[in-house]
Amino acid sequence: MSAPHELTMLRQAAAVRDGELAPTELAEHYLRRIEELDPLLGAYLTVTADRALDDARRAEERLAHLRPGEAAPPLLGVPMPVKDLVPVPGVRHTLGSVVFAHQVAERAPHTVRLLDRAGMVLLGKSNTPEFGLPAYTESRVGPPARTPWDPSRIAGGSSGGAAAAVAAGLAPAAPGSDGGGSIRIPASCCGLVGLKPSRGRVSTAPFADVSGLAVEGPLARTVRDAAALLDVMARPAPGDPYAMPPATDSYLSHCHPPRRRLRVGRLATPDVAGVEVDPEVLRVYEATTALLVELGHEVVDVAQPLRSGDRDAFTPVWAVLAAMTPVPPGREGELMPQTRWLRDQAAAFDALEYARAVAALQHVGRRHAEAVEPWDALLTPTLAQLPPKVGELRNDEDPAADFAAQLAFTPFTAPWNMAGLPAVSLPLGWATGPEGDLPVGMMFGGRHGSEGLLLSLATELEEARPWADRRPPVW
């Protein structure tokens, strides 16, 4: 058998079920790799070594007591982290902030309970920026998260730690969360599959987000692993405000090429004035278009549906999200400058102004959804630029310039959150430079609830241009 970290998540789960690989052996293997490689990459804020070994031993006991014909839970004995925006009882829960460096969570949200029920072994808490706000993962509570393809460059944000862990073989897959691109941005930076599901597909319970922007989803090396992790996570909770009925088929069952010719729209023109797309990104975009045509799909250029000023609704809503986390009295000054800048803006809005901003955001989202409706999928680059060096986007002296730089880096991702539509980033190209190869993600979005079709198309593209065996130098 290959080294355990070289196996896909699904192959690891099968090896555990078949007795080829003991959960404790698997956990110990990942803990050794984390100890060796994570100081370079900053993938983890907290490593739960004792908890991982306890979880692995419980998985072994559960396997030993399965009745004849009884199916094992789908992730039994499979190790992975949970993003440090998401609490796990008894584990340090920093929210990416030095203000909460010593906080320990008491209550498990719905998705953590689902992962526990599926048999996950918890490796720790993956790195995230403060409150999950920036498109980079840099904070004062831990080291920056770096892409394993070039550790001088960012892993993206806000699920940067999760992506760095999976790409470097420090976890087989990982859940992330995405309020403006926070799964797809690091997926592109780290050469992974990153799926943002439709609004309501994955429960946010017990958290409240009246904007409807954020949703949890999978990061993985393969489409099948991403689909299998989504199968675990996509279960509604009572009272979900945007609940969708459970899918009639598993997402894993959609991992086959489409059985018909698809109509794919494409655009690479950002709606943000003055933003130019890197020529290497455009080269991969054109190569992806050629591949779609080669596979028999119809590809048509479409106009950018967003207009000048449409983004004006996003910033105040994002600012209020930044302000929703209560900070102990006297500790606001310890927050990152970007966080304080957003929270200061939120303090200036009254309830009526915020309600109007949410309404405007929904109006823009509907226009984006109307533009997507005629197509089976819409192709765009995931990012406008290659992953920048650590610290290049961050600007503590000028948070407004910091925010503008993030927007120029990520102009294609947030509209899918505004509309609540699914979108997946796929590592369909590579930029070769003097410092080595850098992954370039291409994004496919679809109509509300069309995760199955996106996974089908992603499977076809993965089969045509396999990427899982292309591994970073630290591997």
Q: How far apart are CA 53 and CA 49, in angstroms?
A: 6
Residues 6 or more apart whose Cβ sits within 8 Å of residue 268 = 277, 282, 285, 380, 381
Give phi and psi for 279, each to the nearest 5: -55, -35
Q: Specify whether 158 is catalytic.
A: yes
Q: How far apart are CA 127 and CA 176, in angstroms?
A: 11
Please list the residues that pair with 431 across neighbouring strands.
438
Please list the residues that pair with 126 across neighbouring strands.
44, 83
For 13-39, give the DSSP string: HHHHHTTSS-HHHHHHHHHHHHHHHHH
Q: Say if residues 332 and 274 touch (Cβ distance below 8 Å).
A: no
Q: How far apart are CA 296 and CA 293, in angstroms?
A: 5
Q: How far apart are CA 382 and CA 354, in angstroms?
A: 29
Please list the residues that pair with 445 across neighbouring strands.
378, 423
Catalytic pick from 158, 177, 198, 203? 158
- Token pair recorded at residue 450: 């069309």
Q: Within its chain, how far is the Cα of 374 from the centroid? A: 26
Q: How far apart are CA 390 and CA 392, in angstroms?
A: 6
- Token pair recorded at residue 352: 């009526």
Q: Specify whether 250 is catalytic.
A: no
SS3 49: helix
Q: How far apart are CA 468 and CA 222, in angstroms?
A: 6
Burial profile 103-142: b = 16 or more Cβ within 10 angstroms, e = fewer: eebeebbbbbebbbebbbbbbbbbbbbbbbbbbbbbbebb
Q: Measured on CA atoms in the order 140, 152, 169, 113, is the torsion positive or negative? A: positive
Q: Say if residues 119 and 323 touch (Cβ distance below 8 Å).
A: no
Q: Say if residues 394 and 406 touch (Cβ distance below 8 Å).
A: no
- Token pair recorded at residue 459: 């499977």
Catalytic pick from 97, 139, 182, 211? 182
Q: Say if residues 266 and 301 touch (Cβ distance below 8 Å).
A: yes
Give phi and psi for 139, each to the nearest 5: -150, -175
Give the total residue count for the chain.
Answer: 475
- Find out whether the peptide bond into 89 is cis, omega within 30 degrees of 0: no
Q: Specify whether 196 is catalytic.
A: no
Please choose, from the candidates 196, 202, 197, the residue with its C-alpha nearest in 3D space to the C-alpha of residue 181: 196
Locate tokens 């319970």: which residue? 205
Q: How far apart are CA 18 and CA 10, in angstroms?
A: 12
The set of catalytic residues is 83, 158, 182
